Structure 1
């Protein structure tokens, strides 16, 4: 359940216990492009029936029923401009592919940058209209570290040790 929003920087609000996918409000008639094999997003897109593509460097990370949506990562200049909503994993910050992806997006496209690697010092992203940042707020660093050390993932720590938060435009 979402908690009420609080004021964020420069016309943004912080929504606690929220999922960036839900805040993006993707409609069945829209095209989504997912950068990275982000399983929960792919499942949700199938559930709403939205046309979508998955840009991925390693197709082995996709399940067989997702392969019909697969496009090689290097095809992004042709695929990203089709997006009404561009869903990007924060890993693109690490591998330096984020600037090229955003440069290809249509100005009116909603861009969702999501994952624990997304910084919550958002000034670099807030000048782009339609940007939504989804990450976590570490509530119990010691417990979170223990879960990660044991090979845990978001399913094991979301809501317990690191609640999800979203930074979205007002």
Structure 2
């Protein structure tokens, strides 16, 4: 994460002058909109948060109008509520880099599964239950392993601790972007270093990707939000990924 933050500080012009327009911590996603209109999101991970006295963020009511750098610093917080706001801010600032350097990365609006080209004899590991992916991957791969955190897992889904044993043997590894928020991404990428292809996917993964590419990520499936006010409304009303499609384009990008 630190590498991404350093890149933003050096690549976003006048980053110290950029301020926050609005913050919304919804049931599914947390959204941060900059005064310039750029917006980033992060999976809220409410099931993993510790709440006290009906509050999640102690700074609630003070975030709008603050310097973006203040909220960006929350990416290193051990408080998960603060951390998801930091990640959403990181993704919002990343959109400025994408705007300034549109040719730095290869963007595609193709399905990530098609781009990965899963072979019939390949073992696929899906870290995080992404339900739209599972029937397609089951039909293409020799074996699909799905890992999920928490105690209420569906039948056939392994605990995320099983990644330690299975990821090193997988041919293709697909990791949810939520791993950026819960702090597991670096270890997961280490475990996946033998994989033919590694993908990081989900709206939470919509940051400048250079450090992730250096750590072995082949593709990133993220979002570009084109209607931030609509996206904020969706998040505030408890919407998730399907509803977010009304306000964002889901894109896959890779290094050129």
Category of TM-score, reference length = shorter chain: 0.7 to 0.9
Cα offset for 1:164? 0.6
Deviates more, 1:102-111 or 1:112-121: 102-111
Give TM-score, length-normalised by structure 1.
Answer: 0.81
Cα offset for 1:48? 2.5
Whether the aligned pair in 2 keeps the contact of 1:88 and 1:113 (CA below 8 Å) is: yes
1:167 aligns to what?
253
Q: How well do the aligned residues superpose, as a CA RMSD in angstroms? A: 2.1
Secondary structure, counterpart of 2:180 in structure 1: helix
Q: Where in structure 2 are there 5+ consecutive unaligned residues?
A: 1-101
1:95 pairs, out of 171, 182, 189, with 182
Secondary structure, counterpart of 2:204 in structure 1: coil
1:138 pairs, out of 217, 225, 228, with 225
Larger RCO, structures 1/2 (Cα 8 Å, 6+ apart): 1
Cα offset for 1:107? 3.5
Q: Distance in 2 between matches of 1:162 and 1:128?
A: 27
Cα offset for 1:29? 1.6
Q: Distance in 2 between matches of 1:8 and 1:56?
A: 35
Secondary structure, counterpart of 1:121 in structure 2: coil
2:244 pairs, out of 139, 157, 161, with 157
1:13 pairs, out of 106, 109, 112, with 106
Q: Distance in 2 between matches of 1:100 and 1:33?
A: 15
1:25 aligns to what?
117
Which residues of 2 match residues 30-45 of structure 1 at below 5 A? 30-45=122-137
1:54 has 2:141 as partner: no
Q: Where in structure 1 are there 5+ consecutive unaligned residues?
A: 1-6
Cα offset for 1:120? 2.8
Cα offset for 1:8? 4.3
2:197 aligns to what?
110
Per-residue CA deviations over 1:127-157 (Å, capped at 9, x if unaligned) read 2455110100001001111122222222123
2:164 aligns to what?
77
Secondary structure, counterpart of 2:133 in structure 1: helix
Q: Distance in 1 between matches of 2:183 and 2:164?
A: 15
